[in-house]
Each structure stands twice: as C-alpha cells, then as structure tokens.
Structure 1
C-alpha cells in the first residue's frame, strides 16, 4: 500500500523534452482558436460574399495610401533605428526607449483625425509615458536586455 501511494506522489521529469510541454499546449490552443475563427467568422463572411450581400474588402473599398505606406515606412525605420541608436548606448535599453518614443509619436500623428491642442497633448504625453513605462518595467524591474 505504501509503495502504491508513494508512486502516485512521485514526480519524474524528463529534462530533455520538458521545455516542449507548454509550447505544445499553446500550439494546440492557437490551432483551435484559428479553427473557431474560420468556422464562426470567415465561413459566414464568404457565404455572404457568394450571395452578393458583401464584397471582399480588398476589391470594394478605397485604401488610405498615405497611412498604409506611412505605417510600413515607420515600422521599417523603427527596427533599423533601434539597432543604430542602441549601438550608441549599449546595454542600457535607450535605443528601445528613444526610438519607441519617436515611433509612438509619429504613428499617433499619422492616425490622428482631429488635430486639436488637447489631442496633440494627449499624443505627446502618450508617446513619452508608454515607452518609458515599458522600458522601466522591462529593463529595470525584470532586467531584460533591450536594444
């Protein structure tokens, strides 16, 4: 009896494959969620397109060219400049901090519809506070190396 109970309470870990346990669970959860999206959203949308009630978004609607290409350019510049500025201040995370401030500011200005004093103040405060808070939490509290 004691042997059977101790077998139930003992834990054996295979350290060669134990790190694959949670990623496998995440993969199956993501696959399940993807299947749910396909069944619940994409299939009814495609059925409505086939009936003529809806059109495909890439064909039936106009595109905001400035915002689309502006976003692409800002994303490319963000990743490029993060490495460049990070090399100026190695192992401090200032590359992340300074470039993220500029990125958030320019992205917010790109998508800002109503340019008022109040909205511009909100955009500037957000561009300074959000990256600073993320930098403080990641670089200082969790000591994660940032570019």
Structure 2
C-alpha cells in the first residue's frame, strides 16, 4: 500500500521535470532563442516563458515533497504571486533579448524592471506583514497558556 502513497508524487515529479526541461530542448536553439530572424523582444518573452517553466516546475517539486504547515498557505501564495515578475526579470539574461523592438523605444534601459522591482517589493511586504501577524498571534497564544 505504501506505493499508492507515492504514485501521485512520482507523477507530479515527472510533470515538474518535463515542465523544467522540455522548453529548453524545444526553444534554446536556432528555431527560437538563436533564430536570426527573431527580434530581441520575441527572445525576451521566449526567455520569460522558459524561466516560467523552471520556476513552476521547481515549485511543483517543492510543494509535492515538502511537509505542510499552518503558514504554508502564505508561502504558496507568495511564490505564485512572484512567479510572473521573477521570470520577467530573468528574461533579460537570454541571448539577444531586448525590452522592446523598433519602432518602439524607451530612454530607460531594462524598462520592465521598473514594474518588476516594485511588484516584488509589494509581494515581500505582504509576506513580511503576514509573518509579523503570525508571530503576534503565536505570542498571544503563549501568554494565554
């Protein structure tokens, strides 16, 4: 019967590994990232998509094999809220990626970071405030005992 306990986890692990690896097999080559016909901003979003696969696959592995705690809801919400913005920030690091394509132009380099950094700061603030609340509630319960 113990094997039945692990089958769902093993299936989710397989899905997570596929989500992490397959986008790089399919896209990190001359058909996508190194395609000379592709403009830089297309590479940017392709990079973001590949990073999203790594992020989501990694979170799937973590949630599949980690234990559950009261604060797990908060941590899960935090990593989900941050996913789009973390992977958008990572997109600049893919070969040939640019924040925009002509005729669009911005005088600020890495313009997306002006959205990514404030949003991630809000996510971190929300997480910190909720942790603070948990700590206060735990302190109140200890005093009541």
TM exceeding 0.5: no
TM-score (norm 2): 0.35
TM-score (norm 1): 0.35
